[in-house]
Structure 1
Amino acid sequence: MSAEAPRERRVRAVRLGPRSVAALVLVSAVGLGGLGWPFLAPPEASLNAHSQDAPWLFAGLLVLMVAVLAATISEAGLGPKAVAMLGVLAATGAALRPLGAGTGGLEPMFFLMLLSGRVLGPGFGFVLGSLTMFASALLTGGVGPWMPFQMLSMGWFTMGAGLLPLPDRLRGRAELLLLAAYGFAASFAYGTATNLAGWTFMNTLSSNIAFDPDAPVSANLARFLAYCLATSLGWDGGRAVLTVVLTLTLGTTVLKALRRATRRAAFEAPVAFGESGGADGREGPAGSPGEAPSPPGRPGGVSRPT
């Protein structure tokens, strides 16, 4: 009788508690409102009367809410080992982004974010994606009112990889194909979200594809589709293709390395303090009378078998 293959237990570097989930939902709702308000508010709405101010308002509000979310997740249990891995991966991702910046959307950072979110889960993934985009914006001089929306979109991208299903025995090529398919679709979704953030900053007098606060929703939707086709379709396509190629060629190696690192870090291992037995056979504190001294580097009361 053959033994059943063990099921994989996904490691969570950050466990999302109820408060963290509520904060994440609230931030995501504000982000969606900040991105989609041109299609949610009718032309006669007062928000359209402040179309030049609304993106700045949403950007400032999003910065505050992302900070609250980061503090909430940190309070939920972002331990020192998770912080160390977060710093290493964020620094690596930020360093990878300039390698392809300005070259048809060839951004290898997305490949690393995809696999990191898959291995370490959605909570860690959202924090990692947001922090990496923030660090890369500082590195490349991309700081502006669009940056909070980029941070949120990258957080969604990385979190989504952590939310992908994990069926039994989904290994090897099947897992890489799942990640490649998600990376391809999510690359275009990321580009669409960031286009929404920048589209409203265009002056309607300078282009017939800019947002027009006086136009109906259907007309603005047609303008936005034309804007995406004219400005970012090739960029998003290059990002999607590179993510797929890197996932299929290097994914196995990187996934193994990340999983080995998470096992060695043992994020979820409980900390246990051993107690030693005294001379009368009862358990007592380490160093009590009647206890034989333990060898250096070994817990008290644990003797080497003879």
Structure 2
Amino acid sequence: MSDSSPANPSRRPRPVPLSPRTVAALLLVGLVGAAAFGWPFLADPGSQVTAHARDAPWLFAGLLVLLVGVVGATLSEAGLGAKAVAMLGVLAATGAALRPIGAGTAGIEPMFFLLVLSGRVLGPGFGFTLGAVTMFSSALLTGGVGPWMPFQMLAMGWFAMGAGLLPGAHRLRARGELALLAAYGFVAAFAYGTVMNLYGWPFIDTLASDIAFDASAAPAANLARFVAYCLATSLGWDLGRAVVTVVLTLTLGTPLLKALRRATRRAAFESAVTFDPPSR
């Protein structure tokens, strides 16, 4: 048995190739996810959607579970082989183990920097899969299973996938690459926190807070309420997450990027396995 080398050895192999069907599945989940997170700003005041403001997150949570499953099946069909599954398991287990380190401590979430570097090296398809699986396994580990979990899986998938879509994957190295990843991690850490705020924000009782979602208010008014909600409730946590991600990326990024790239080259994900005839 032998492994055939890739047709273009200078091209960095990726464990999950982005076929047209994979891209279509990711776009479908992205559109539904955008609606699931942003429906408070898309619905008109007094519409049937806002009338079911407390039911909508549950409906979208169930729908996201199905769609994430569709994406997983599509990625598997696109070529998620045994080597890629093994690396996915190792990285997801590592990320899940890192998550409890920051439990109860504002902003100390080291798993974010691991997902930034993994998405960068292994590509957007693998990054999305890794982000979703890591969040799922860490929820099981920390007892954080609930209707919010599909939203966390999707948001973390976007977080890691974005790192795989950054420019200069084949050319940018050393300090320039670390600076790019640190800047992305800083911005994306805030984006993750903001997106996840959209999940719980509509559940706040309007009578108890002036920054809660108001089903009778215009989208612009609700947007102002949401900004105030983020500033009042999660700015400190998101800032801590962003700073920790930047510090870990700049200090540990170089050896971890080298290790991930070395493992990717040795695994030769895109090599075809062939069986040689027995020698006589």
TM-score over 0.5 for the alignment? yes
The alignment covers a number of residue pairs equal to 272
Q: Among 148, 161, 170, which residue is 1:159 paired with?
A: 161
Give the structure with the higher percent helix: 2
Root mean square deviation of aligned Cα? 1.4
Letter in 1 for 2:161: M
User: Counterparts of 1:203 and 1:232 in 2: how far apart (Å)?
Assistant: 18
Q: Which runs of 4+ in 1 moved over 2 A?
A: 7-11, 270-274
User: Counterparts of 1:132 and 1:167 in 2: how far apart (Å)?
Assistant: 23
Q: Does the 8 Å contact 2:108/2:240 carry over to 1?
A: yes
TM-score for the superposition, normalised by structure 1: 0.86
Q: Where in structure 2 are the equivalents of 1:178-217 lying within 5 Å?
A: 178-217=180-219
User: Counterparts of 1:286 and 1:242 in 2: how far apart (Å)?
Assistant: 55
Shift in Å at residue 8 of structure 1?
5.6
User: Counterparts of 1:168 and 1:94 in 2: how far apart (Å)?
Assistant: 29
User: Counterparts of 1:28 and 1:168 in 2: how far apart (Å)?
Assistant: 26
- Paired position in structure 2 for 1:245: 247
User: Counterparts of 2:46 and 2:203 in 1: how far apart (Å)?
Assistant: 19
User: Counterparts of 2:75 and 2:172 in 1: how far apart (Å)?
Assistant: 29
- Paired position in structure 2 for 1:80: 82
User: Counterparts of 1:66 and 1:268 in 2: how far apart (Å)?
Assistant: 24
Q: Which has the higher contact order (CA 8 A, sep 6+)?
A: 2
Q: Does the 8 Å contact 1:8/1:168 carry over to 2?
A: no
Q: Among 60, 69, 72, which residue is 2:71 paired with?
A: 69
Q: Secondary structure at the match of 1:76?
A: helix
Q: Where in structure 2 are the equivalents of 1:89-108 lying within 5 Å?
A: 89-108=91-110
TM-score for the superposition, normalised by structure 2: 0.94
Letter in 1 for 2:111: M
User: Counterparts of 1:128 and 1:34 in 2: how far apart (Å)?
Assistant: 21
Q: Where in structure 2 are the equivalents of 1:120-135 lying within 5 Å?
A: 120-135=122-137
Shift in Å at residue 72 of structure 1?
1.0
Q: Secondary structure at the match of 1:238?
A: helix
- Paired position in structure 2 for 1:150: 152
- Paired position in structure 1 for 2:56: 54
Identity of aligned residues (%): 74
Shift in Å at residue 166 of structure 1?
1.7
Q: Among 176, 179, 198, which residue is 2:178 paired with?
A: 176
Larger of the two Rg values belongs to structure = 1
- Paired position in structure 2 for 1:110: 112
Q: Does the 8 Å contact 2:12/2:170 carry over to 1?
A: no
- Cα shift readout 1:252-288 (whole Å, capped 9, x = no counterpart): 01001111111111101222344xxxxxxxxxx545x
Gaps of 5+ in 1: 1-6, 275-284, 288-292, 294-306
Shift in Å at residue 11 of structure 1?
2.2
User: Counterparts of 1:253 and 1:8 in 2: how far apart (Å)?
Assistant: 21
Cα 1:147–1:88 shift into 2, 3 Å: same
